[in-house]
Amino acid sequence: MLDLSHLTDSLNPQQREAVTAPAGNLLVLAGAGSGKTKVLTHRFAWLMEVEKISPQAILAVTFTNKAANEMRERLNKLLHLNPRSWWVGTFHGLAHRWLRTHWQEANLPQAFQIIDSDDQLRIIKKILKEILKLDDKVWIPNQIQGYISRAKDQGVRPPYMDSFDEYSRTMKMIYEHYQNYCDQNGLVDFGELLLRVYEVWHYYPNILTHYQKRFPHILVDEFQDTNNIQYAWLQQLIGETGCAFVVGDDDQSIYGWRGAKVGNVRRFQKDFKTVQLVRLEQNYRSSATILAAANALIEKNNSRMGKKLWTEGDSGEPLRLFNAMDEKEEARFIGERIQQWISQNKKHKDCAILYRSNAQSRILEETLIQMRLPYRIYGGLRFFERQEIKDALAYLRLLVNKDDDTSFERAIAVPPRGIGDVTMEKLREHARQNQTSLWQAADILSQEKKLFFQNLKSQLNQSLSLLDELEKPEQVSQELNPRAANLLRQFLDMILQLRKTTEKMPLHQLVSAVLLQTGLLKFYQEKKGEKEQMRAENLQELISAAKGFEIDSTEGLTPLIAFLSNAALESGERQSDPNQDAVQLMTLHSAKGLEFPVVFLCGLEEGLFPHVMSSQTVEDLEEERRLCYVGITRAMKHLYLSYAESRSMRGSTNFTRPSRFLEDIPKSLIEDIRLKTPSPIKSTAFAPSPHRWTNKPRFNDEEKPRQFYHSSERSEDNKHQQNQQIINKQAWVDPKASFKINQKVQHEKFGIGIVLANEGKGEAERVYVDFGKHGKKWLVLSYAKLQLA
């Protein structure tokens, strides 16, 4: 008898039911913190050890690289085998792997390149401007991008697009041009990766059958996030014979706005035979109180499959609700609570501040700086999305494919080499007329010019008729001036030269050679700004990345092509350095899948959360509520909710009402925290004592339903706070006299600077300060917290 205790001992009954289920289709509804990844990895092991399935015959699909890596790691730990060559990956990663194998059937050049959404947008803009000559104020590139991506997610090619009115006809036409452009340049966007594989399988049933046989078992993570093409793709692969083990949580579906279909979870039960359903409802993360709040909230949604989280743990502390005067006070409150946490010898990184939109992060950031709390913000640019890195990648892509126009344009522009708009316009025109790539056009035009001048000498005495011929109007318009032609030639020769010399080099040497010989690295190094120095460092980092890059089993690819594909598919980790002890700031969306001992869920205000832009339909609101549910279920022990009564955003201050989600949480689970003594006059003041805010029992809801928000006590407070604001305004009138020209000042972000000028009066008064390496800035005194230095 096989000893399976290592696979099943640590599982609860439901987890065990899922893991040990007989081969067949299975849907696991895995609540937040219920051990989803554990079930997936144990199932994998179970299939191997009990069903005797080869790991090569199991396909495990995730959405993010992070999830795929985590799965690999856990499998490695569990099985002590190296899962490197296993079929564990993201939808896009796997699609890429297949397209590299079946590039011929997919009608792609062997060296096809993957473009990211940034490249995609550039191409759309280019087409609008150069080919279709459409006004990008009317035909907004971002919207077109969404339109095309959505079409691809639906598996729709241009011929099948609607064309019943002006709008849809134009969209269809743009889509067509875009696709032609990609095809001609050997480019594949993210949506295309999936669609192509779908089509290959559709048109080559023998290939599909091959993979159906090859992968009798398919595991899918985060199933609630699948869009239509992904679903169709799984459907193909599973076919009549495959077994699907899908894990998801309809309550955590928060990507509907980018095409994810929660309905796929339910649809799965209909479309596939004999789907066994297992619910994982035991939660190992949060206190019972937090779970009660989460359950109560999500119950308000109608379209659910139903699930109720529970825990064996204790009820823990109540949720804490803080009603702040404004966003500044909210931020200060959060900061102080974190300080309290730290004073108990706990870690900064235990604390996460979650918000609906990125705009909220600024004030939090400023406050944390003031309070000297280390923090880290998730989001923002990732490594391979940085401008300088994309510049470098353009050169690398050009080495792979000279006819890649997008890369050609990018590479020729940085560093500046005297080839400007005029020359480029001529190149584009020539390329358009002759249906060639920019490279070919450049080659011909620079060559022609060279020959022209060589011949000129010998031809001086020859007949005028020959010259006349050379001066045909079309040609004249495209002729480059000698200087431009020469520079262009130099550029082409440089690329050709690089191509030759780097042919046999190892990857990192190749990258290094490109950075050096194109002058890209030098260009940034020679600039003075801090930004540019950073860019130069990033370029160096690119060399290290190339050094560390190992080609996995993507057989038959040159290291360079593999590297470039990887760069597009995995644009760099946004993960924090686990050794760095910092408060974690992120949007609710990026918090999915994470957990923290202390969570601050802030900005719980109508219009902000739920956001105005997604409050129109019931579906929108339900997704917002799920987002809130995701936020609450991130918390392990302490959950703080907060909202402000007024919030300044986009330059104006608005009064706000508390979020409707607060009403969905039973009052008995919440403890109110209010202001006891007035807040300090100046926000630059030292951190107030932690005793300023005290806990106070909340009103019974029977007694005063909703009164909490508008109680007379509140308005008293408000009056008090209004006085405060007036005092606040006076506070800066006093020191302002000292902000004279040449005065040394200190800014919390930019450091020490010198006042160069000042203007305006009252609230509008501003000073012009030279912060040295941070540059010269105009600062409004009533906003910037300037101090004398």
Partner DNA sequence: ATGATGATATTTTTT
Partner DNA sequence: ATATCATCAT
Binding to DNA, residues 706-765 (CB under 7 A): none
Nearer to DNA, 240 or 421 (CB): 421
The DSSP element (H or E) to which 279 belongs, if any, is strand 276-280
90, 120, 224, 252: which one is catalytic? 252
Q: Which stretch binds DNA (CB under 7 A): 197-205, 300-308, 322-330, 417-425?
A: 417-425
Is residue 775 within the footprint of DNA (CB under 7 A)? no
Helix (H) or strand (E) holding 280: strand 276-280
Site for DNA in 10-29 (CB under 7 A): none
- What would the x/- binding string for DNA be over residues 165 to 204, using CB under 7 A? -------------------------x--------------
Residue 279 lies near DNA (rule: CB under 7 A): no
For 340, residues 6+ apart whose C-beta sits below 8 A from its C-beta are 690
Contacts of 768 (CB under 8 A, 6+ apart): 755, 756, 757, 758, 759, 776, 777, 778, 779
User: Measured from the CB of residue 635, what is the shortest distance to DNA in angstroms?
Assistant: 19
> Using CB under 7 A, which of 37, 235, 357, 447 touches DNA?
357
Both tokens of 186, joined, read 């050997």
Question: From residue 243 to residue 272, what is the string marking binding to DNA with x (rule CB under 7 A)?
Answer: --------------xx--------------
* Candidate list 634, 647, 660, 698, residue with the active-site label: 634
Closest CA to 271 of 232, 303, 307: 232
Residue 280 CB partners (closer than 8 Å, separation 6+): 14, 15, 18, 28, 29, 30, 31, 34, 35, 36, 39
Q: Which of 36, 320, 397, 402 is catalytic?
A: 36
How far is Cα of residue 505 from the mean position of the Cα atoms in its chain?
A: 34
Q: Considering the rule CB under 7 A, would residue 63 count as an interface residue with DNA?
A: yes
Q: Which of 379, 705, 735, 775 binds DNA (CB under 7 A)?
A: 379
Instruction: Tell me if residue 406 is catalytic.
Output: no
Task: Count interface residues toward DNA (CB under 7 A).
Answer: 42
> Which region, judged by CB under 7 A, interacts with DNA, from 15-23, 63-71, 99-107, 432-440?
63-71
Residue selected from 205, 418, 482, 775 as contacting DNA according to rule CB under 7 A: 418
Q: Is 577 a catalytic residue?
A: no
User: If binding is defined by CB under 7 A, does position 570 make contact with DNA?
Assistant: yes
Over the window 610 to 639, marking each residue x when it contacts DNA by CB under 7 A and - when it does not, the resulting string is: -x-xx-------------------------
Q: Which stretch binds DNA (CB under 7 A): 171-179, 286-294, 300-308, 581-589?
A: 581-589
Could you tell me which stretch among 58-66, 241-249, 323-331, 633-641 binds DNA (CB under 7 A)?
58-66
- Residue number, 574 or 674, with CB nearest to DNA: 574
**590 vs 743, which CB is nearer to DNA?**
590
Looking at beta carbons only, is 523 or 693 nearer to DNA? 523
Stretch that binds DNA, among 166-174, 410-418, 496-504, 538-546 (CB under 7 A): 410-418
* CA distances to 248, 388, 419, 653 from 715, in Å: 46, 54, 66, 18
Stretch that binds DNA, among 59-67, 200-208, 346-354, 694-702 (CB under 7 A): 59-67
Contact indicator for 37, 65 with CB cutoff of 8 Å: no
Residue 593 φ/ψ region, left for φ over 0, alpha for ψ in the -120 to 50 degree band, beta for the rest: left
Residue number, 665 or 781, with CB nearest to DNA: 781
Are the C-beta atoms of residues 223 and 187 closer than 8 Å to each other?
no
Which residues does 268 contact at the CB level (< 8 Å), separation at least 6? 25, 27, 223, 244, 246, 275
Cα–Cα distance list, 449 to 477, 483, 485, 486, 537 (Å) = 13, 10, 7, 8, 39
Cβ neighbours of 112 (radius 10 Å): 26
Spot the catalytic one: 37, 339, 554, 724: 37
What is the closest distance, in whole angstroms, from the C-beta atom of residue 766 to DNA in the complex? 8
Residues 82-121 close enough to bind DNA by CB under 7 A: 90-93, 116-117
Distances (CA, A) of 764 to 153, 413, 767: 50, 41, 10
Residue 376 in contact with DNA, rule: CB under 7 A: no
Query: For residues 158 and 178, what is the distance between their CA atoms, to the nearest angstrom?
Result: 10
Q: Is position 37 annotated as part of the catalytic site?
A: yes
User: Of the residues 153, 221, 250, 391, which is catalytic?
Assistant: 221
- CB closer to DNA out of 90 and 185: 90
CA 428 to chain centroid, in Å, comes to 33
Which SS3 state, helix, strand or coil, does residue 504 take? Answer: coil
Using a CB cutoff of 8 Å and minimum separation of 24, what contacts does 155-162 make?
155/195, 155/198, 155/228, 155/229, 155/232
Determine the interface stretch with DNA among 72-80, 204-212, 496-504, 585-593 (rule: CB under 7 A).
585-593
Q: What is the dihedral of CA 443, 447, 449, 455, to 10 degrees?
A: -170
- Nearer Cβ to DNA, position 42 or 426? 426
Identified catalytic residue from 222, 250, 329, 624 = 222
Judged by DSSP in three states, 501 sits in: helix
* DSSP label at residue 64: S
Q: In degrees to the nearest 10, what's the CA dihedral of 417, 422, 423, 426?
A: 160
Shortest Å, Cβ 521 to DNA: 16
Q: Which two tokens stand for residue 232?
A: 């169709």
Q: Assess 788 for contact with DNA (CB under 7 A).
A: no
Looking at beta carbons only, is 326 or 570 nearer to DNA? Answer: 570
Where in 132-161 is the site for DNA (CB under 7 A)? Answer: 137, 142
| Token digits of residue 533 | 């120095």
Q: Is 36 part of the annotated catalytic residue set?
A: yes
Distance, in Å, from the CA atom of 278 to the CA atom of 283, rounded to the nearest integer, reads 15
Asked if 783 interacts with DNA (CB under 7 A), we say yes
Strands 58-62, 217-220: pairing is parallel
Q: Which three-class secondary structure state does DSSP give residue 671?
A: strand
Query: Which one, 117 or 525, has the nearer CB to DNA?
Result: 117
Give the pair of three-digit tokens for residue 12: 């609860």
List of residues contacting DNA (CB under 7 A): 63-66, 90-93, 116-117, 125, 137, 142, 190, 257-258, 356-359, 379, 416-421, 569-571, 574, 586-587, 589-590, 611, 613-614, 650-651, 780, 783
* Catalytic positions: 36-37, 221-222, 252, 634
